[in-house]
Amino acid sequence: MVEQEIHIILGFRLATGKVNLNEIVYRLKELRDPLMLRILEQVLMRYDDLISERLSHTEIYPSKARKGLGRHFRKEEGEARRYCRGRKVKRRGYREKERKIATALGGLSLRIRTVECCTCGARYAPLLSALGVGAYARKEVNFEHEVIEAVIDTNYRRLVDGRSIDISLGGIHNVVVGSDIDQTFQEPVFVKDLAGIEADGTGVKQKGGAKGELRAVIGVTQAGRVEPLGCFTNTAWPEVERTIKERLHEAEGHNIPFIYDGEPGLDDFLAGVAEAQRCTWHAPRGLYHALWEDGVKKKQSEPEMDKIKGLIGFELPEGEYELLKEEDKEAVKSRYESSKEKIQELIETFYEKGYCKGGAYLENLSHRLFTHIELWLKTGVIAPKTTSLLERVFREIGRRLKKIAWGWSDQAVTNLSKMILIRQYARDKWEEYWKEKLGIRGYFTIRIQSVEIMSCLTF
Ligand SMILES: [Zn+2]
């Protein structure tokens, strides 16, 4: 570690007897980012000096002091680019063009030293590789982080305005698409920690106004919290299923309900891991539609729907399962059995009346209506029975996508949805992800040593 000092000289003028506190604070706030940007510039220029000093004076600095510095490709013709072992250089002044990098503090414009390798003769800028800035990188990760946070909060305009950062919607799109979010957050989820899984899709407007479909799968924890499992854009359900299954661990022996609201193609989703449970809120509405197709008018179908709602809409007793009286469990069991029976009767009546669509709908439904009750009777686990949590998730995502991602590609919609979900429901993992990406490891610290007024006062 090298200890250095930065001296800052600020000039201010104040109208004695006239200025108020607000104006002073206002102007200081204006100074904040530009001042930090200037400091950044100075730190980087000094770093550049320190690096070239070490690389050019090998007689003073042992190879240990040059560790991590001077990595460059050999000056060679041809395709195969190999790293050079040479670590002694001659200084060759500054690059003609300043390097522009978008940072969280604003647009940085930096004069960069070039050196020439004494071994292979290649010319390169050792600062860039030392900083972990790629040859063509035009922004740093804090900046990327701020852009993404701003996009999620749908206030990216505020980020851009008033700073020397210029990023267009297209630029934001590229930041989102270029993110590695699709390869991260793949760690296993243990089925035993979940009380249920929900999946559904929602429409999104994409390129040229085309309608796409965003699909999301979430886990619901025992405590009723959302555990994001995956977001997909224009992806077939079997592929979604394959991806989700890969993340689910120790599925055997932990059958949990899979709740959905009748999306075709989801009837056997995650079979073997989860038992299908139709959303008890949406299911009766589907029946209305099926009966309507049979030519049943609203007036006639309404009492039937009320019947169904009454049959499936019973609540489980509150309190610890183990502490419940046997008769409470018995009551649930007999209600469950009679409900099942009455639904069977209803199916038969429908067929007798010639309501084929309605009968088939209810028959299909009847196997998937009481999964959460059956699970509770067997294990005492209270599982979700509606897709309401997932609907909330979709509202969160949809509101933001509408504002910013209009016309975006599949990858962008997928990535952004995933980011929204993880930041919203796994905040700690989200923070961890960025810290890891930023590489904060204690190699740079800066503090305010003293701030004092110059003694040469004029009154
Ligand atoms: Zn070289």
Q: Say how many Å lie between the CA of residue 112 and the centre of ligand 1.
A: 18
Q: Say how many Å lie between the CA of residue 101 and the centre of ligand 1.
A: 26
Write down the residue that tokens 């090298």 correspond to. Answer: 2
| pLDDT value for 440 | 85
- Report the distance separating Cα 142 and Cα 440, nearest Å: 11
Q: Say how many Å lie between the CA of residue 118 and the centre of ligand 1.
A: 6
Q: Say how many Å lie between the CA of residue 331 and the centre of ligand 1.
A: 82
| pLDDT value for 7 | 94
Q: Say how many Å lie between the CA of residue 124 and the centre of ligand 1.
A: 9
Between helix 388-404 and helix 141-152 the angle, nearest 10°, is 110
Q: Say how many Å lie between the CA of residue 78 and the centre of ligand 1.
A: 16
Q: Say how many Å lie between the CA of residue 91 and the centre of ligand 1.
A: 13
In this prediction the pTM is: 0.74
| pLDDT value for 168 | 76
Tokens of 8: 């800052």
Q: Say how many Å lie between the CA of residue 92 and the centre of ligand 1.
A: 14
| pLDDT value for 218 | 92
Per-residue pLDDT tens digits for 200-247: 998 888 877 788 899 999 999 887 889 999 999 999 999 999 999 888
| pLDDT value for 15 | 93
Write down the residue that tokens 């929602």 correspond to. Answer: 202
DSSP 315: P
Q: Which residues of the chain have pLDDT under 50?
A: 164
| pLDDT value for 253 | 63
Per-residue pLDDT tens digits for 324-340: 788 888 888 888 999 99
Q: Say how many Å lie between the CA of residue 192 and the centre of ligand 1.
A: 56
| pLDDT value for 163 | 55
DSSP 386: S
How far is CA 316 from its chain centroid?
35
Q: What percent of the chain has pLDDT over 90?
A: 33
| pLDDT value for 376 | 85
- Report the distance separating Cα 106 and Cα 341, nearest Å: 69
Q: Say how many Å lie between the CA of residue 74 and the centre of ligand 1.
A: 5
